[in-house]
A and B are shown apart, each in its own frame.
Chain A
Amino acid sequence: MSLIETEKLTKIYGQGETAVTALDHVDLRVTAGEFVAVMGPSGCGKSTLLHLLGGLDQPTEGRVIIAGQSLAELKDDELAAMRRRQIGFIFQSYNLIPVLNALENTALPLTLDGARPAVAKDKAREWLGRVGLGERLMSRPDQLSGGQQQRVAIARALVAEPALILADEPTGNLDWRASDEIAALLRQVADEWGRAVIMVTHDPRIAAYADRIVFLRDGSIVEETRLGAQRAENTDWVNGRLKANS
């Protein structure tokens, strides 16, 4: 069963002659443990799609269903709770709070949701450990590298144990190596921790970490490529490729 599903998801900005269709009847299903990359040229609707999936914006038509629940049927406070508990967000610019250390930043979603600080910090410590920052709990964002800051953001996205992770250009501000590490970590989020990960990116190398790539153009899905679950075949492809390159 899919964890998140969209039906004819459509977003039109403006009205009449100036109306712009940002998203045009998109049907997408993502299952738990699946890592999906969304690609396409600027203005193709990638960010709109992510905002609608995360309940940050309302569709003009169609709907988003997360864990069997249609977002449109939720009241405002229910939607807010869904966002806090079921969806983790990761952004290009990390969006960490500068005056808080890694532990406090990571614990924030739980603290805001009313968890006891000690409980929130325990969970935050646990997730920071899993993303490889167990030694940097007390560091503030300005004391961490870009890659480390994005790891904190990933720990923060996971701390409330959401089923769905939405990442908007998570490697957009990172160098080659750090990008790789973050993409590998998102791979782990899907593989080991069973989360559904939907990532918008324009970087082919980063997209190639996913199980599936969805290509958007002018608001519609024009192509889909499955990369994962064919690993034996993949090995043959690689070897053929290396041969061709020699």
Chain B
Amino acid sequence: MSVRHALLGLLARRPRHGYELRAAFEAIVGGEQNWDVKPAQVYTTLERLAQARLVIVEAIEQESGPEKRVYAITPAGRAALQEWFTCGVERDHQRDEFFIKLMLCLISGEADPRQVIHIQRSQLYRELHAVMAQRNRLDPKTELARILLLSKAEMHLEADLRWLDITEARLAEVQRQPLPEPQARPRGRPRKTQS
């Protein structure tokens, strides 16, 4: 995902300078502990957006400290934003650190796979406990967006826990099967198939 689109979205509402943009972004994601965007990332992204003519520097404010560039979105920027809204967001569920840990545990024989699963289960339950405690402290009348983000985390954790149960139940079966090996692929240009 791109901080780039988030910045365009924020600028679509009104022109702002980099510091304001970063603060607005953090407010939406629920604080820097959730999604930490460094000031440098905001400024380099703004520079790139300006080079691509998706934003322009509308004004330069200078009171006492360093100068503040106020950015505004251009028509091309709005078009790029529109394009972002019209496509779906891909999820990367198959790139999973725990899965690779479990596979390497099976391949290397360096750890007991059940133990590895148990440790992960404890970890996920602690996270789930904490997510729900956090969610229950929020006020649905004023903090619903934040509650929905926590609910999302909760549902993912729940799914991960169910997956662990299934995987544990089928561990013996997996262990009986040959582990995935790279497939031998011929090098060079593929041969023409004869029809």
Chain A residues proximal to chain B, CB less than 8 Å: 41, 184, 204-205, 207-210, 213, 215, 222-223, 225, 227-228, 230-231, 233-235, 237-239, 241-243, 245-246
Contacts and interface: CB of A to CB of B under 8 A. Distances in A.
Contacts of B150: 238, 242
Given A204-B125, A225-B121, A241 B161 contact: no
A228 B133 CA distance: 10
Interface of B: 1, 29-31, 33-36, 118, 121-123, 125-134, 136, 149-150, 152-154, 156-158, 161-162, 165, 169
B133 A231 contact: yes
A235 B154 contact: no
A209 B132 contact: yes
Given A243-B35, A246-B1, A227 B134 contact: no
Contacts of A228: 129
A169 to B, nearest CB: 17
A239 B128 contact: no
Nearest 9 A/B pairs, CB to CB: A234-B130, A208-B128, A227-B129, A225-B122, A239-B33, A238-B130, A204-B161, A242-B34, A208-B129
A230 B30 CA distance: 22
B30 A227 contact: no
Contacts of A41: 165, 169
Which interface residue of A207, A228, A241, A246 has the most chain B CB atoms within 10 A?
A: A241
B126 A225 contact: yes
Nearest to A246: B35
A223 B122 contact: yes
A227 B136 CA distance: 16
Given A209-B129, A241-B153, A243-B34, 20 more contacts: A184-B136, A204-B125, A204-B128, A204-B157, A204-B162, A205-B132, A209-B132, A225-B122, A225-B126, A227-B129, A231-B130, A233-B126, A234-B129, A237-B123, A239-B34, A241-B131, A242-B34, A242-B35, A243-B33, A246-B1
Contacts of B169: 41
A1 to B, nearest CB: 25
Given A204-B158, A239-B33, A245 B130 contact: no
Contacts of B34: 239, 242-243, 246
Nearest to A210: B129
A242 B122 contact: no
Contacts of B33: 239, 242-243
